[in-house]
Amino acid sequence: MRKFFFTVIGLSIVFFVFSCNNQDNNNASNTDTVSADQIDVIPDDVVVENFDDFYQKFISDNSFQLQRVRFPLKGSKLVDYGEEVQWTKDDWQYLKGDINEVDKSIFDVEIIVEDNKVTHKVSVPNSGFQMHEIYELIDNKWYLTELFESDL
């Protein structure tokens, strides 16, 4: 039974991982006035990577994924009540699947979009399983900078 549970969780993680089409546009309704020196101006020749494009490549291309994980990766994997495993480049298990395709009848999914940060959270209520991924925009490119997983 435990093997079946972890297989279901593993497959679900595959479908969970990454992509963010639910962008929060709360700032669009902000009517505060700002001065020109308060606005970050990006030069025309600088291209800021689109998160959705990055994410689709990240979950489908192992070589690209390895390039875009910031090792040493913050966070850990908690297993068997207290045993903690750190994420390293040598034992990296590739993240696959699209967070937008996660079965929401089984998983709670939360996507938090900020200017330079995207957080994906997935959990199974009352099961001990949860996963948080944090992507950050660094030098105009997106990177996975933090990963926390608990399989308790």
Residue 123 and residue 65: Cα distance in Å, rounded? 23
Quickly tell me which residue has 């298990």 as its tokens.
93
97 within a domain of the structure (yes/no): yes
Distances (CA, A) of 112 to 19, 48, 91, 127: 11, 19, 28, 22
Inside any domain, residue 35: no
Please check whether residue 28 lies inside any domain of the structure.
Answer: no
Whether residue 82 is predicted with pLDDT greater than 50 in this model: the reply is yes
| Tokens coding 11 | 């497959």
Span of 17-21, 33-37, 91-95 with lowest mean pLDDT: 17-21
Return the CATH number at 103. 3.10.450.410
Instruction: Encode pLDDT of 66-77 as tens digits.
Output: 999 999 888 888
| Residue at 120 is within a domain | yes
Domain span at residue 6 reads 2-22+46-151
From 95, 94, 98, select the one nearest 109 (Cα to Cα): 98
The answer to whether position 54 is within a domain reads: yes
User: How many structural domains are present in the chain?
Assistant: 1
Q: Is the pLDDT of residue 21 over 50?
A: no
Task: Locate 110 and state its tokens.
Answer: 């939360």
